[in-house]
Chains A and B, each alone.
Chain A
């Protein structure tokens, strides 16, 4: 039945069009009936668009009566075409025929003109009736939905309350579809423009706004919908749908149908059916600009069911996760300082600037803690509204200790963010909680994090790395791509550092604190404080602490500053401090199970380390990292480190390292797998004893600007798989013996400014897979033997030397991929 209708309608339309073109033709040819034809043309031009609209929008069944009328119209139009056809054939002097045709044309014109007004108002009334019935059904359904679900979304509540008011049909048609913009939006225009820039290209069907909880994604989406430019373009075809964590997708699609298709909605069997039917209908409909906002989408499979493709149909998604391909993603930036200030002031003082009654300093300290997160600014700001300075100071104190400053803070901010965490799998959830052990506002070493997960949580490397990327994709931490894109550790990570938003760190800390009592906690974390040890901890000094992971952030520490504590189960200890002198805590002795020890100094100068004797008890130690320290000779203490697998020394004094490793004939770490020496000045030569560590698989001596010589015995490292020597500008050559490293897979000599050549026997490195030699501008020639590098698959180098590699690829290593790297400039290095 329905199909027949459609056919009739479209036939009527096409006949009308045909007639119009004939009439236009006749105007040109016919002499006598010209004027009449022109009138007919005008009438047709008026009716054709109406007919077309009937065709495209008409989705309901058409009543018998109307079918008949349309049929009549069709017949008349058909006659008309014949008429006009004949008319144009009439000879100019045949006055009689001309007169006859003219009359007929006039009659046709009159019919067409009258067709619409005659029954028009009745039709409209009919339609209204239909509409109101279907709407009523729709609302009832929504009501049922609401009743069966938690009321989470504000705009649903609006609908709910309104339908209870038994609003009449007229008002119903004006139901606000888009939530109101929050009070005092700041810094949105740039984001709107940026978002629109990504969305507007014709081939883009959807863009996801990604950002952490409370960063203003929804606000941006609302602002986009209310932007005058957008409103102008999409008129009433802007749809705002909140999806949330556990949506009823079928209902959502039904609502989209009602708002976009607006006709009779068939019953859907399930979500798949709904998706399919909706997409089909979209394909049939005439394309019109439509903007759909899917707010707060959590899962990829939710999104898949809600994305539709049609010309002019665009979808904006807000999400905390990476759900779409990167080029469709818009990463929402946090607020800039000025915007953050005005937003904070609005919520705190109700004005744009800092109120004179409050110390400017306090304000900026609080704002600093919020790190440009709009939600944090709002919540913390309103918590401090009308509060005396003492409360402000207390708040700053609490914030720096990652404690909630008020219930509102806890509920409004932390629980908002907590939703992001709750959906994580248990394993990833645990990993997230570990993030609290690193200090705020710092770029932290990814390797340390992975060590922790591998050695303490006993994940394998792949899983640890997977968790890392998952947290990254969920915006719960940000990996900092090392600008040079060095090929990183063996798992293939090119990331060396990560940063974490303060608010998320606070959340992690908060979640770990929930476990009580203190000595039963799995993670014992003390955010930065000068005078060590919270009093409450001392209360448990006698009984053993249960913590597996301990993190302490202090200032300068003397031996007396520490108190006795017992950590029999601790496997990882992170000591952060900012001082020029530091005494290791005596309770290190009690940590018999310690596997991971990270000691990082955040002062601008290197610190001297004392109280070293405690180190000799660490017989289970697997990973040791020291940063920015004058490492004293440790040979007296490292004898028991038989299980040590990883040793990392960063920003330390190289001459001290030399002393340590040279003086000890027994620098004996039989299981050392990975040795990293990074950013160590005054290291002029690589200690010879390193070459005796045959277990070593990975050796990184990087950013050592005074290193001018590698040991000739380097070739003894028979297990070595990875050798990284980047940014050692004084290094002029590689020792010939490296050609003996049969297992070497990765070699990085990039940024070795003065490297003159590669050894002639270079081609003997039969396992070498990747070679990074960019910005080695003095290496002019690849040794001939390089033809023999059969395993080589990737070379990263500069343009000049790249030509030689390409020649080698052509002649003997077809699998080789030569990447010519552009010199890359950036200013990230300015921030330490």
Chain B
């Protein structure tokens, strides 16, 4: 890390965000919409238009949805269903897991209703996907599905109430990369059991749920089943016990098997004392545990009851928040000069955990600092990037100057006998250093999660790679003693591999529009390792490999993705071509069948 100190974060805005959400009425409207869903619509979704917003409501409380029994935590790989894009993956190759019950429900709706058609009609509108309980998880999946369509001018948002965790870290990374995390808002009551529920293995909660779900259904006015009080309270105690065991494992980082699920999006914790929002996945995971802690003076069975009852009590809770906002808060024994720390303390007070809870406090503080560090790092890199543009300009000038002398800059740099070759090597090392640092930081997660999809960095990285990598290849060829190919393992600098991967991933998410073919030859060959391939072809003794290269060059020419500088008189490519065409001309049909021969003979690049 750098020697100089990072500025500590100045503020924590979790409470203000919650206040805003609570007062802007979306939440209440969404909740009311959920309450209006009737039994006969239970299998499908509901559209409600309110002013210029469309609420899409998903049903909840199917027994079979809650308990997906074929894996330990009810998870399944999202890839099994082809409805999500290939881009929904992590930064590594770990599988993307979601809750199977929620996924099945969403698939069911997708296939058995006019959901797709309705969504088609709704483009260019503000859409809020809403769901309660397991329906919330379905709404979140629907939101991801909708976001992946990348419709222009559409604005979608997801609000859930008491929704369980539904996806693993891979999903979280994928969404974070696209900067979509802010589009998910999960409202969670202090004691509501459901959001924590899936941290426990399904077999430990399945049985109690059998008893509890009918109770909820009747509470929500879907069914009218009478649940015996005794069996209910026993179920409540069991489930709370089992869940608490698992949450404390997670919150305290005890070793052991962990549930794959992580919080995805913004969590708004509500209590009778107020509300606050949190974004950091890790911190939310801990708060899910700490906020459910038993408080002194309240018997365990009472808390167990609250855990179940709060799940259906969001209406009251939301109305209560307005009131709580008006009350001044005080906290005892908390001293700090930092407005950031005071902010955290206030948040903890608001969600009923209390500022004195050190674990929760430090979890939030750490999260805030980590986020702040990410932003600060980005800022620093921005400054560095603009400084490094001067080096890029040096490279550009060098390229231009070399072109004037009829040698491409690749070959000039390979020969390395002029002062300017030395100078540009300094720029090359500087730039390499800079991008190495970025890639390293990204891999260490000290940059924002969506850093690698930001257009600015993708474009800067791609330009750098196309302009700079030929020099790296030339340097390698000049200094390499072992005759190792640039493309062999461990030779090509890691930064180029990563930058190329970033670019390809970004390309995949870009909508097809605007992708027109080139009309002119590129100023920089789009394939940055063109020269390395050339070097390999030059060394290759077998004809097929050379012919392969010919075909490769010809595709680049037809795409016009090759730079015309390749055809400069003194370039290595021309030398290869002379040798190669000499050999190939011995076979008479080649002349007529090779489009490249024609192209070269006519000098069609001019």
Contact = CB atoms under 8 A, between A and B. Distances in A.
Interface string B427-444: 001100100000000000
B60 to A, nearest CB: 56
B423 A829 contact: yes
A679 B417 CA distance: 8
Contacts of A827: 394, 397
Nearest to B407: A604
Interface string B141-167: 000000000000000000000000000
Contacts of B118: none
Given A681-B416, A753-B429, 18 more contacts: A604-B417, A604-B418, A679-B422, A681-B417, A705-B422, A706-B479, A729-B425, A751-B426, A753-B433, A823-B387, A823-B390, A825-B390, A825-B393, A827-B394, A829-B420, A830-B397, A832-B418, A832-B420
Contacts of B479: 706
Contact of A729 (B2, B394, B417, B426): B426
Contacts, number: 57
Interface string A706-748: 1000000000000000000001010000000000000000000
Nearest to B390: A825
Contacts of A727: 422, 426
Contact of A825 (B3, B4, B394, B398): B394
Q: Which 10 A-B pairs have the closest CB atoms?
A: A829-B423, A825-B390, A729-B429, A753-B429, A703-B422, A705-B425, A681-B416, A830-B401, A832-B419, A780-B3
A538 interface: no
Given A830-B397, A830-B398, A628 B420 contact: no
30 contacts: A605-B415, A606-B417, A651-B418, A679-B422, A681-B422, A681-B478, A703-B419, A705-B422, A705-B426, A727-B422, A727-B426, A729-B426, A729-B429, A751-B426, A753-B430, A753-B433, A754-B429, A777-B433, A780-B3, A800-B2, A800-B3, A823-B390, A825-B390, A825-B394, A829-B420, A829-B423, A829-B424, A830-B397, A830-B398, A832-B419
Contacts of A754: 429
B402 to A, nearest CB: 10
A781 interface: yes
Contacts of B425: 705, 729
B420 A830 contact: yes
Nearest to B3: A780
Contacts of A823: 387, 390
Interface string B305-347: 0000000000000000000000000000000000000000000
Interface in A806-832: 823, 825, 827, 829-830, 832
Contacts of B433: 753, 777
A823 B425 CA distance: 16
A825 B392 CA distance: 11
Contact of B417 (A628, A703, A753, A800): A628
Contacts of A800: 2-4
Nearest to B421: A681
Q: Give the secondary structure class of B's interface.
A: helix
B167 to A, nearest CB: 40
Contacts of A781: 3
A832 B423 CA distance: 10
Contacts of A651: 417-419
B156 to A, nearest CB: 44
Interface centre among B387, B419, B425 (most CB of A within 10 A): B419
B312 to A, nearest CB: 58
Interface centre among B3, B387, B423, B429 (most CB of A within 10 A): B423
Interface centre among A679, A703, A705, A780 (most CB of B within 10 A): A705
A602 B405 CA distance: 15
A703 B425 CA distance: 10
B493 to A, nearest CB: 14
B505 to A, nearest CB: 30
A139 B420 CA distance: 63
Contacts of B405: 604
Nearest to B394: A825
A729 B427 CA distance: 10
A625 to B, nearest CB: 16
A679 B393 CA distance: 22
Interface string A603-615: 0111000000000
B397 A605 contact: no
Contacts of B418: 604, 651, 832
B138 to A, nearest CB: 52
Interface string A212-241: 000000000000000000000000000000
Given A751-B426, A800-B4, A829 B415 contact: no
Contacts of B423: 829
B476 to A, nearest CB: 13
B151 to A, nearest CB: 44
A310 B424 CA distance: 53
Contacts of A825: 390, 393-394
Interface centre among A679, A729, A823, A829 (most CB of B within 10 A): A829
Contacts of B417: 604-606, 628, 651, 681
A829 B3 contact: no
A829 B419 contact: yes
Interface string B1-44: 01110000000000000000000000000000000000000000
Nearest to A727: B426
Interface centre among B394, B425, B433 (most CB of A within 10 A): B425
A430 to B, nearest CB: 31
Contacts of A780: 3
Contacts of B426: 705, 727, 729, 751, 753
A773 to B, nearest CB: 15
B245 to A, nearest CB: 46
Nearest to A703: B422
B530 to A, nearest CB: 24
Nearest to A702: B422
Contacts of A729: 425-426, 429
Nearest to A780: B3
A781 to B, nearest CB: 7
A825 B423 CA distance: 11
A651 B397 CA distance: 22
Interface in A744-769: 751, 753-754
A581 to B, nearest CB: 15
Nearest to A681: B416
A140 B420 CA distance: 65
Nearest to B393: A825
A85 to B, nearest CB: 72
A753 B434 CA distance: 11
A606 to B, nearest CB: 6
Interface string B395-412: 001100100010000000
A829 B420 CA distance: 6
Nearest to B418: A832
Contacts of B3: 780-781, 800
Interface string B539-573: 00000000000000000000000000000000000
Interface string A591-607: 00000000000001110
A605 B425 CA distance: 18
Contacts of A681: 416-417, 422, 478
A679 B419 contact: yes
A803 B416 CA distance: 37
Contacts of B387: 823
Interface centre among B3, B397, B398 (most CB of A within 10 A): B3
A800 B3 CA distance: 8
Contacts of A829: 419-420, 423-424
B193 to A, nearest CB: 51
A781 B2 CA distance: 11
Interface in B476-513: 478-479
Interface centre among B398, B417, B430 (most CB of A within 10 A): B417
A661 to B, nearest CB: 20
A604 to B, nearest CB: 6
A825 B430 CA distance: 13
